[in-house]
């Protein structure tokens, strides 16, 4: 009698795309019941976690997150403009202006350090890529748990659900560009450098 082995389900195209991007970037995939839920990929000493994320069970995003040492804890939120943001502006609240008119109309930018964020957003690769995704949202927050009191931060980027390799690669490329920019303006510190 042969040992009964569970039949391996054939992966769906979306799972194949996620597994392919993980493998191409030297990452490791985490599956649950044959479905790729997330993967980790290295980038210049940082570990990026790419995952299918749902906060409420109904809306799903592709989320990329990473933690890093920081020279300067910074809070940053870049989110699509909403009627509430427009109402706030009408009442006198101010957004950070990136200098890209299409981006400035589409996004609400809030941060602790306006000059650093403006310097980061001078990179058109960041603003142009975010404009292409109707669900794009970028957050940077200080986190606890650094070694010997070192400051740490977490970068989170949310996008519409990525179902193919091209979309996943574009999301990873954007996060790489943001990390490089954060390092250039003195916010992110690569612990391997």
Tens digits of residue pLDDT in 62-72: 999 999 988 77
pLDDT for position 81: 82
pLDDT surpasses 60 at 141: yes
pLDDT surpasses 60 at 4: no
What span, in angstroms and rounded, lies between the C-alpha atoms of 181 and 155?
A: 12
pLDDT surpasses 80 at 16: yes
What span, in angstroms and rounded, lies between the C-alpha atoms of 72 and 168?
A: 29
Average pLDDT, whole number, for the chain?
Answer: 84
pLDDT surpasses 90 at 21: yes
- 57 token code pair: 């069970």
- 58 token code pair: 């109904």
CA 16 to chain centre: 21
pLDDT surpasses 50 at 7: no
Q: Which residue has the higher pLDDT, 134 or 1?
A: 134
Reported pTM = 0.85
pLDDT for position 13: 82
Nearest to 162 by CA among 29, 62, 64: 62
pLDDT for position 95: 76
Terminal-to-terminal C-alpha distance of the chain = 57
pLDDT surpasses 70 at 51: yes
pLDDT for position 12: 82
In sequence order, the 6+-apart residues with CB closer than 8 A to the CB of 103 are 121, 127, 128, 130, 131
pLDDT digits (tens, 9 = 90+) for 65-106: 999 988 777 899 999 887 776 677 666 666 788 888 999 889
pLDDT digits (tens, 9 = 90+) for 144-192: 765 665 688 999 999 999 999 999 999 999 999 999 999 998 888 876 5
């Amino acid at each position: 009698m042969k040992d009964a082995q569970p039949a391996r389900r054939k992966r769906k195209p979306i799972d194949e795309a996620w597994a392919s991007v993980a493998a191409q970037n030297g990452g490791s995939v985490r599956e649950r019941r044959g479905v790729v839920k997330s993967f980790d990929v290295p980038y210049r000493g940082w570990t990026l976690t790419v995952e299918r994320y749902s906060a409420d069970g109904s809306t799903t995003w592709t989320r990329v997150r990473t933690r890093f040492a920081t020279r300067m804890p910074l809070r940053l939120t870049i989110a699509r403009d909403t009627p509430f943001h427009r109402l706030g502006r009408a009442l006198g609240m101010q957004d950070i202006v990136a200098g890209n008119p299409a981006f400035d109309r589409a996004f609400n930018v809030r941060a602790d350090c306006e000059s650093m964020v403006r310097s980061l957003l001078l990179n058109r690769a960041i603003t142009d890529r975010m404009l292409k995704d109707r669900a794009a949202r970028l957050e940077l927050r200080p986190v606890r748990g650094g070694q010997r009191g070192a400051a740490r931060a977490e970068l989170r980027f949310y996008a519409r659900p990525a179902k193919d390799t091209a979309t996943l690669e574009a999301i990873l490329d954007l996060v790489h560009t943001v990390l490089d920019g954060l390092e250039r303006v003195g916010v992110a510190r690569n612990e391997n450098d």
